[in-house]
């Protein structure tokens, strides 16, 4: 938090950008980018979130400590997601011995 007062112009500019971003999200969803679908959707979402964090939440004008806190929050979330998903993704890397008694509906 700072004593710095963000001007209304910036707020409205950010608002406009967020509206644009929402429009982009919807439009992009209708186009099939193949493997990039998720990346594009998330990039737009991250950009919108960044705008809110930096300008509406004043992090752009705040102390470095605030910045570190915000980054660390998302970093730890990323750690939790990355490590867990890596377990799921890598389960099939090792060739499994086929057990004829194992039911076929076991998760792939």
Partner 1 sequence: MSTAAVTPGTRVGESRARHPHVNYLNADYGIKSWLLTLDHKRIALLYLASISFFFLLGGAYAVAIRVELLTPAGDLVQSQTYNKLFTHHGILMVFFFLIPSIPAVLGNFLIPLMIGAKDLAFPRLNLLSWYIYMVGGVMTFWALLLGGVDTGWTFYTPFSSTFSNTYVVMAGLGIFINGFSSILTGLNFIVTIHTMRAPGMTWFRLPLFIWSHYATSLIFILGTPVIAITVLLLALERLARIGIFDPALGGDPVLFQHLFWFYSHPAVYIMILPSMGVISELVATFSRKPIFGYSFVAFSSIAIAVFGFLVWGHHMFVSGQSVYAGLVFSLLSFAVAIPSAVKVFNWTATFYRGSISYDTPMLYAFAFIGLFIIGGMTGLFLAATGLDVHLHDTYFVVAHFHYIMVGGAVMGYLGGMHFWWPKITGRMYPEGWGRFSALVVFVGFNLTFFPQFLLGYMGMPRRYHAYPLDQPIWQVLHVMSSAGASILAVGFIIPAIYFVWSMRYGRFAPANPWPGTGLEWRTTSPPPTENFRKTPVVTWEAYEFRPVEEMRIVGPGETADQPADPGHPRNRVAPETLEHGKDKE
Partner 2 sequence: MATSDTMHTTHAPHSSAHTALAHHFDNMEQQREAGTLGMWVFLVQEVMFFGGLFLAYLVYRTKYPMAFAAASSHLNWKLGAFNTVVLICSSLTMALAVWAAQIGRERRTQLLFMGLTALLGTVFLVVKAIEYTDKWHDRLFPVRGWFAPAPDAFPHTIAVENIQMFYWIYFAMTGLHALHMIIGIAILLPIMWKAWRGAYSPEYYAPVELFGLYWHFVDIVWIFLFPLLYLLGAHFGGGH
Residues forming the site for partner 1 (CB under 8 A): 65, 72-73, 76, 79-80, 83-84, 86-91, 93-94, 106-107
Residue 88 interacts with partner 2 (CB under 8 A): yes or no:
yes
Is residue 54 within the footprint of partner 2 (CB under 8 A)? no
Distance (Å, rounded) from C-alpha 77 to C-alpha 59? 19
Three-state SS string across 1-41, please?
CCCCCCCHHHHHHHHHHHHHHHHHHHHHHHCCCHHHHHHHH
Q: Other CB atoms closer than 10 Å to residue 49's CB: what's the count?
A: 14
Residue 38 or 100 having the CB closest to partner 2: 38
List of long-range contacts for 86-90, beta carbons under 8 Å, 24+ apart: none
* List of residues contacting partner 2 (CB under 8 A): 1-6, 8, 11-12, 14-15, 18-19, 22, 25-26, 29-30, 32, 34-35, 37-38, 41-42, 44-45, 48-49, 52-53, 55-57, 61-63, 65-66, 69-70, 72-74, 76-77, 80-81, 84-85, 88-89, 107-108
């Amino acid at each position: 938090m700072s004593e710095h007062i963000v001007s209304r112009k910036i707020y409205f500019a950010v608002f406009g950008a967020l509206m644009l971003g929402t429009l982009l999200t919807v439009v992009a969803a209708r186009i099939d980018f193949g493997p990039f679908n998720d990346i594009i959707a998330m990039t737009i979402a991250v950009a919108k979130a960044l705008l809110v964090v930096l300008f509406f939440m004043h992090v752009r004008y705040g102390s470095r400590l605030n910045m570190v806190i915000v980054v660390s929050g998302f970093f730890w979330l990323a750690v939790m997601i990355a490590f867990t998903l890596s377990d799921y993704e890598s389960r099939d890397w090792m060739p499994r011995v086929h057990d004829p008694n194992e039911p076929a509906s076991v998760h792939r």
